């Protein structure tokens, strides 16, 4: 009799997850995806009011969630999250941007964007991996990167620098931590409709540029990211590390 293979589980029952930037947009979508799959989700963000609203909405669905007010740039506070526990899944959705011509970028702009997009991402990964190693457990670390980690973009030299740096960082960390069963990957969305990106979509020139580049002829929605994050968090992606999932509608295909 033919022995059939079985699809690996997408369930996160019994797992604990941390999602940063979880109070809105993509981060909130990630928290929903993980909680719906059975994980206990610790939602972290800077603003207490929106964070509490997000956690209450998750709990109202019968899902397991709690909130932690966190400035991810505060490395002492960030490390404190991992002093208390090791997370089976860590999703870093915190990010920032200051778009404009490269010749107009100030050192203050550079420091502000690299501090969140690269510096805190680096140490978040290191703290998460160190806690897993101390606990003797495998885990999955997922960064919400960008298609701009693979291409260039108008007025996005600084943003692209941080996201290209993030992609290289993830590859090196994957090599370093693979033997401990710690996986690390990125999800690279195209332009996703969120309150933070609405001003870009409201600009006719920018909106036309976006629609011209996305081969599927539509902007991304938060829901487009959720399945990719669940896949990378679960056993279904057990042999996936050091790579990026491009959720870009074909933007980078040419």
Helices 48-60/25-36 angle, 10° precision: 30
SS3 content of the chain, % helix, strand, coil (to 5): 50, 15, 35
Active site (annotated) includes residue 122: no
Choose, from 15, 127, 163, 213, the residue flagged as catalytic: 163
**Bridging pattern class, strands 244-247 and 89-92:** unpaired
DSSP state of 155: T
Choose, from 15, 127, 159, 213, the residue flagged as catalytic: 159
Report the distance separating Cα 12 and Cα 18, nearest Å.
13
Cβ proximity of 66 and 39 under 8 Å: no
Active site (annotated) includes residue 130: no
Cβ proximity of 192 and 146 under 8 Å: no
Cβ proximity of 242 and 175 under 8 Å: yes
Which residues are catalytically annotated?
A: 159, 163
């Amino acid at each position: 009799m033919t022995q059939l293979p079985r699809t690996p589980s997408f369930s996160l029952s019994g797992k604990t997850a941390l999602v940063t930037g979880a109070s809105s947009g993509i981060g909130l979508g990630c928290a929903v995806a993980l909680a719906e799959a059975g994980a206990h989700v610790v939602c972290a963000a800077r603003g207490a009011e929106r964070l509490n609203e997000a956690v209450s909405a998750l709990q109202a669905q019968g899902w397991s969630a709690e909130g932690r007010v966190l400035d991810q740039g505060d490395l002492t506070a960030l490390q404190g999250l991992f002093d208390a526990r090791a997370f089976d899944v860590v999703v870093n959705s915190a990010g920032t941007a200051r778009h404009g011509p490269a010749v107009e970028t100030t050192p203050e702009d550079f420091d502000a964007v690299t501090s969140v997009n690269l510096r805190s991402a680096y140490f978040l990964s290191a703290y998460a991996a160190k806690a897993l190693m101390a606990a003797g457990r495998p885990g999955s670390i997922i960064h919400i990167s960008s298609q701009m980690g693979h291409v260039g973009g108008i007025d996005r030299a600084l943003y692209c620098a941080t996201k290209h740096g993030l992609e290289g960082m993830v590859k090196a960390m994957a090599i370093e931590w693979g033997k401990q069963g710690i996986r690390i990957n990125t999800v690279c969305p195209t332009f996703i409709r969120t309150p933070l990106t609405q001003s870009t979509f409201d600009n006719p020139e920018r909106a036309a540029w976006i629609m011209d580049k996305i081969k599927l002829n539509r902007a991304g929605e938060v829901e487009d990211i959720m399945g990719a994050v669940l896949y990378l968090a679960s056993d279904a992606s057990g042999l996936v590390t050091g790579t990026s999932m491009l959720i870009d509608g074909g933007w980078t295909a040419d």
